Amino acid sequence: MLAFTADRLFASAATIEHPVMIVEDGKIIEIGPRSSTNIPQQISTLDLLQGTIVPGFIDLHIHGGNGYDFMDRQLPSGLSAIEDLLARHGVTGYCPTTVTAPLDVTLRALERLANAIDSPGGAKRKSPRPCPLGIHLEGPFLSHARRGVHPADNLLPPTLALFERFWQAARGHIRMMTIAPELEGAPEVIAEARRRDICVSLGHSDADFAAAERGVAAGARHATHTFNAMRPLGHRDPGIVGVVLTDSRVSADIIADGIHVAPSIVKLFANAKGADNTVLITDATAATGMQNGSYRLGSMEIQVKDGLCTADGKLAGSVLSMDQAVRNLARFADWRLDQAVVAATRNPARIAGLANKGVLVPGSDADFVVLSPDGHVQRTFVGGIAC
């Protein structure tokens, strides 16, 4: 048992000044103001000084970092390097994300990611490193017109049989799936994925308003990197973006790096989706945390220069870190830091069905981050143990 004290703590519904948080066996057992919380004399106290305790960040869309890609055959050796980078930026849980590739390559990648989740060093471990919490299947059920850099030759029409092959290869660890709802067969696959408690996300789509609505009716409840790889919003032809921004059943994520989406559009998005349905992602690649140069995104080579990731002149993921995304959201949308933090903690945990994650309440996992007053990461804890 260990008690943590700090300058303030962002709880699920309020900010606690001069808090104490008591942790035992990786779980939070009590939170409250120091003035009214009894700290047993026999337990040690760690004072985090002028820091602010917030829930650990959760990244639902990340392809790699520190020179490694999640689809790489070297994944077992590269996993710790990626997670070291994530810990430095406050991420305590994440969904390793695939990119469209030949079918056999995707199936093998899903098997490797399932091994990472199931291994003693995976999500079931009790060690101080960020944990893979489930797989995000991005591709191959994407629109040719809005595929971005996903290889056209490897895109496939959605079918229940193909979805089942992915599910079996991942051993049930698919937690999110991006799909273009206008594709033939998409509604049936969306409905089946929803039945298996997968967060189905609309993305890489050229859907008009009606097709996007059909996707929501089938069970889709989220949208992938809003505005990017989507039919543009038109005032007479609102398309998929019109559904994403106006349907209260749909949460949505955005890449708030100031490159993928202009700061003013991030503000528009945040105002439209509100505090409960705004989610931050990084879409980070192997280049994240590295110098300018050439890196891999799945089977593709990408070029990175001054924060811009491209392949054949198209945007290809990012080098954004989650703590920077939080600071950017606060600045772009004129939100308080505690509001922006929710978009990287409680909201992604809720939409992905991650129990006991993304909040600091008694009974939740003691995954938390200590921030400076301006939102920079000072320390990261997983299960109450410093990374």
Task: Say whether both 229 and 94 belong to one domain.
Answer: yes
The 3 state secondary structure assigned to the chain is CEEEECCEEECCCCEEECEEEEEECCEEEEEEEHHHCCCCCCCEEEECCCCEEEECEEEEEECEECCEECCCCCHHHHHHHHHHHHHHCCEEEEEEECCCCCHHHHHHHHHHHHHHHHCCCCCCCCCCCCEECCEEEECCCCCCCCCCCCCHHHCCCCCHHHHHHHHHHCCCCEEEEEECCCCCCHHHHHHHHHHCCCEEEECCECCCHHHHHHHHHHCCCEECCCCCCECCCCCCCCHHHHHHHHCCCCEEEECCCCCCCCHHHHHHHHHHHHHHHEEECCCECCCCCCCCEEEEECCEEEEEECCEEEECCEECCECCCHHHHHHHHHHHHCCCHHHHHHCCCHHHHHHCCCCCCCCCCCCCECCEEEECCCCCEEEEEECCEEC
Count of C-beta atoms within a 10 Å radius of residue 239: 20
Domain interval for residue 6: 2-52+374-386
Residue 363: inside a domain: no
Write the CATH number for 33: 2.30.40.10
What letters, b where the CB count within 10 A reaches 16 and e where it falls short, cover 126-148?
eebbbbbbbbbbbbbbbbeebbb
Distances 185 to 141, 142, 271 between C-alpha atoms, Å: 10, 12, 33
367 belongs to a structural domain: no
What's the rounded Cα separation, in Å, for the pair 117 and 123?
A: 5
Q: Does 381 lie in the same domain as 339?
A: no
31 and 173, same structural domain?
no
**pLDDT score recorded for residue 120:** 64
Residues 153 and 28 placed together within one structural domain of the fold: no
How far, in Å, CA of 92 to CA of 264, rounded?
Answer: 29
Q: Residue 362: inside a domain, yes or no?
A: no
C-alpha separations of 226 from 18, 49, 116, 253, 342 in Å? 38, 38, 29, 6, 18
Does the active-site annotation cover 312?
no
3-state secondary structure 268-290: HHHHHHHHHHEEECCCECCCCCC
| Residue 74 confidence (pLDDT) | 78
Q: Is residue 240 part of a domain?
A: yes
Q: Which of 206, 283, 365, 367 is catalytic?
A: 283
Q: Per the domain annotation, does 361 fall within a domain?
A: no
pLDDT, residue 76, reads 75
Structure tokens at 270: 């945040």
Q: Are 72 and 115 contained in the same domain?
A: yes
Which tokens sit at 10? 């962002």
Count of domains forming the chain: 2
| Structural contact between residues 216 and 237, judged by C-beta atoms closer than 8 angstroms | no
Query: Do residues 182 and 113 both lie within one domain?
Result: yes
User: What CATH number has the domain bearing residue 222?
Assistant: 3.20.20.140
Cβ-based neighbours of 262, under 8 Å, separated by 6 or more: none
**Is 190 within a domain?**
yes
164 Cβ contact partners less than 8 Å away, ≥ 6 residues apart:
none
pTM tops 0.85:
yes
Q: Is residue 262 part of a domain?
A: yes
Are 12 and 140 in a shared domain? no
Query: 75 and 48 in one domain?
Result: no
d(CA 278, CA 271): 9
pLDDT per residue, tens digit, the chain (387 aa), is 999 999 999 987 789 999 999 999 999 999 999 998 888 888 999 999 999 999 999 999 999 999 999 999 877 778 999 999 999 999 999 999 999 999 999 999 999 999 999 986 555 555 689 999 999 999 999 999 999 999 999 999 999 999 999 999 999 999 999 999 999 999 999 999 999 999 999 999 999 999 999 999 999 999 999 999 999 999 999 999 999 999 999 999 999 999 999 999 999 999 999 999 999 999 999 999 999 999 999 999 999 999 999 999 999 999 999 999 999 999 999 999 999 999 999 999 999 999 999 999 999 999 999 999 999 999 999 999 999
Same domain (yes/no): 29, 63: no
**In 3D, which of 298, 283, 372 has the Cα closest to residue 95?**
283
- Shared domain for 14 and 137, answered yes or no, is no
Identify whether residues 159 and 287 lie together within a single domain: yes
**Same domain? 137 vs 94:** yes
**Euclidean distance between the first and final Cα of the chain, in Å?**
18
Domain membership of residue 364 (yes or no) is no
